[in-house]
Amino acid sequence: MQDSIFVVTQLKQPALVEVTSGMNMQTFHAPAGIRAWTVPMGVGAQTFHVKRDGRMVDELSGTSLRDIAD
């Protein structure tokens, strides 16, 4: 079993998706529709941001309520 964060997007329009797990940050070019990715799990905050045209989409971005602890 992997220590990974599983990310699923369901977008009406393509966007850039940034996922940060602790110190691990990855960026994905998400197409319209449903897609799934994995990010290595890291200790600390778990955040995600959806960006279109260089701007963050606030209602599609956030931080987990609980950090991952070692």
Cα dihedral sign, 25-27-33-38: negative
19: in domain? yes
Question: Whole-prediction pTM value?
Answer: 0.85
pLDDT in tens, the chain (70 residues): 579 999 999 999 999 999 999 999 999 999 999 999 999 999 999 999 999 999 999 999 999 999 999 8
Strand pairing class (15-21; 55-56): unpaired
63: in domain? no
pLDDT for 15: 97
Range of the domain at 14: 4-52
37: in domain? yes
pLDDT for 2: 73
31: in domain? yes
67: in domain? no
pLDDT for 1: 58
69: in domain? no
